[in-house]
């Protein structure tokens, strides 16, 4: 599967508006995508993200996560184990990481050159080490997420949209740019910001088997506008590569 996924990834050119990213339709082989959506865990197997300790107490309560690791996968049925072990095998393959990181090398190199002094102390300036984290995500009615760039420790963010139809296509990730052209000089880029301070540039449509991917930078402003559809359930497969602290 890795060759087909990487071939699909490489066919799409990087879009730099408003920051470097790619949107790849039909990222997984069709038969595997069907297996994936048919074998998601039930909602009672997910954990409210505010109970995981990884977000602040004011984070939206309507997001639920199912972390993908050896322990959690082992609790699933045999078919689910097969599907998600294939996912983990793909995500942890060095070729997968190397091909995708190399594709974004221009924006990644620029970010490293512009590391703050705090980032240099945390991550160094070369010979970086990484850790991986992957989870299934469910966002439900009334969920929204303010404008942010992601935590500085994030290196690459992958959002695999995994709905079963096109009915929620308007609920994709919103991409923003600051209204104030001097924003980066006047603000330390961290945390979430009021949407009124930004222009919506575009929205990635929430379509089946679609990957939205970008390297974290100081201009990767994105968010989720309010999901306000009765009984809406927004399913994603999320993958993050994090820079490891050298301390």
Query: What are the structural domains of the chain?
Result: 2-243 (2.60.120.620)
pLDDT for 62 equals: 77
pLDDT for 58 equals: 60
Mean pLDDT for 3-17 is 97
CB contact at 8 A, 238 and 134: yes
Q: What is the pLDDT of residues 190-199, one digit of tens each?
A: 667 888 889 9
Residue 62 has a CB neighbour count (10 Å cut-off) of 20
Q: Nearest to residue 197, comparing CAs of 151, 152, 146, 150? A: 146
Q: What is the pLDDT of residues 106-140, one digit of tens each?
A: 999 999 998 988 899 999 999 999 999 999 998 87
Q: Residues of 5-27 as b/e, b for ≥16 C-beta within 10 angstroms?
A: bbebbeeeeeeeebbbbbbbeeb
pLDDT for 57 equals: 61
Flag whether pLDDT at 60 surpasses 80.
Answer: no
* Spatial distance between the Cα atoms of 120 and 114, rounded to a whole number of angstroms: 10
Flag whether pLDDT at 44 surpasses 60.
Answer: yes
Flag whether pLDDT at 141 surpasses 80.
Answer: no
More confident residue, 189 or 71: 71
Q: State the average pLDDT for the chain.
A: 89
Q: What is the pLDDT of residues 168-183, one digit of tens each?
A: 898 889 999 999 887 7
pLDDT for 195 equals: 85
pLDDT for 247 equals: 72
More confident residue, 139 or 67: 67
Tell which phi-psi region holds residue 64, choosing left (phi > 0), alpha (psi between -120 and 50) or beta: beta
Q: Nearest to residue 224, comparing CAs of 63, 33, 8, 46? A: 63
Residue 126 has a CB neighbour count (10 Å cut-off) of 6
pLDDT for 49 equals: 77
* Spatial distance between the Cα atoms of 140 and 232, rounded to a whole number of angstroms: 6
Global pTM exceeds 0.85: yes
User: pLDDT class for 225, splitting at 50, 70, 90?
Assistant: confident
State the number of CA atoms in the 13 A half-sphere of 192 facing the CB: 13
In angstroms, the Cα distances linking 74 to 70, 84, 143 are 6, 10, 30
User: pLDDT class for 223, splitting at 50, 70, 90?
Assistant: confident
Q: What is the pLDDT of residues 74-104, one digit of tens each?
A: 999 999 999 999 999 999 999 999 999 999 9
């Amino acid at each position: 599967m890795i060759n087909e996924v990487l071939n699909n990834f490489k066919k799409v050119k990087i879009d730099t508006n408003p920051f470097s990213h790619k949107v790849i339709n039909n990222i997984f082989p069709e038969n595997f995508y069907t297996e994936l959506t048919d074998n998601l865990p039930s909602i009672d197997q997910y954990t409210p993200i505010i109970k995981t300790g990884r977000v602040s107490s004011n984070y939206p309560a309507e997001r639920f996560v199912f972390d993908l690791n050896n322990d959690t996968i082992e609790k699933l049925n045999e078919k689910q184990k097969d599907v998600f072990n294939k996912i983990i095998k793909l995500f942890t393959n060095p070729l997968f990481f190397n091909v995708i990181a190399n594709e974004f090398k221009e924006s990644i190199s620029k970010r490293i050159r512009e590391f703050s002094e705090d980032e240099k102390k945390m991550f160094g300036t070369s010979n970086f080490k990484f850790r991986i984290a992957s989870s299934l995500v469910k966002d439900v009615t009334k969920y929204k997420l303010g404008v942010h760039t992601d935590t500085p420790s994030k290196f690459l963010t992958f959002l695999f949209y995994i709905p079963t139809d096109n009915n929620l296509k308007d609920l994709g990730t919103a991409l923003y740019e600051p209204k104030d052209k001097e924003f980066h000089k006047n603000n330390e880029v961290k945390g979430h910001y009021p949407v009124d301070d930004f222009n919506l540039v575009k929205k990635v449509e929430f379509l089946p088997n679609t990957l939205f991917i970008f390297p974290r930078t100081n201009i990767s402003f994105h968010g989720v506008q309010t999901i306000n559809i009765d009984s809406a359930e927004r399913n994603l497969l999320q993958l993050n590569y994090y820079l490891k602290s050298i301390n």
